[in-house]
Structure 1
Amino acid sequence: MTSRQFKTIIGIAMVGIGLVQVSLYAVQSELIPTGLGAFYSLLGIVYLWAEVYAAE
């Protein structure tokens, strides 16, 4: 597996985990964990942009 593929998988996993956390805690009306999940998803998007797409 190449380095770019590995970084892409990491970024997609970060976004996915954050979205799962957001959906699970939003149903329970827990604001802080929901916000942290959204922040983690945002970090995953920034990671994908910085390490995969902008590094070409």
Structure 2
Amino acid sequence: MKKTKGQVSVEFFLLFVIIISILAIILFFSGEIQNIVLYITKYQQASSVAFR
């Protein structure tokens, strides 16, 4: 099977979309993890202040 330029460009486009979605997921989860860590540290600070 010979590949035409159209098929190759579609494959590159799909690969590009997959890479961008993976990067977006990684950025989203890193932001979520930062929010969770901030929430946990705030909660620990509040509980330590409350139990003094």
Q: Normalised by the size of structure 1, how large is the TM-score?
A: 0.49
| Higher RCO (C-alpha 8 Å, min separation 6) | 1
- Number of residue equivalences: 30
2:40 corresponds to which residue? 29
Q: Which aligned segments of 4 or more residues in structure 1 are displaced greater than 4 angstroms?
A: none
Query: Which residue type is aligned with residue 20 of structure 1?
Result: G
Larger radius of gyration: 2
How far residue 25 of structure 1 moved from its aligned partner, in angstroms, is: 1.2
Q: Unaligned 5+ residue runs, structure 2?
A: 1-11, 42-52
1:52 corresponds to which residue? none
Matched-pair identity in %: 7
Q: Unaligned 5+ residue runs, structure 1?
A: 31-56
After TM superposition, the structure 1 = structure 2 runs for residues 1-56 of structure 1, keeping only pairs within 5 Å, are: 2-29=13-40
Q: Normalised by the size of structure 2, how large is the TM-score?
A: 0.52
Question: RMSD of the alignment, in Å?
Answer: 1.9
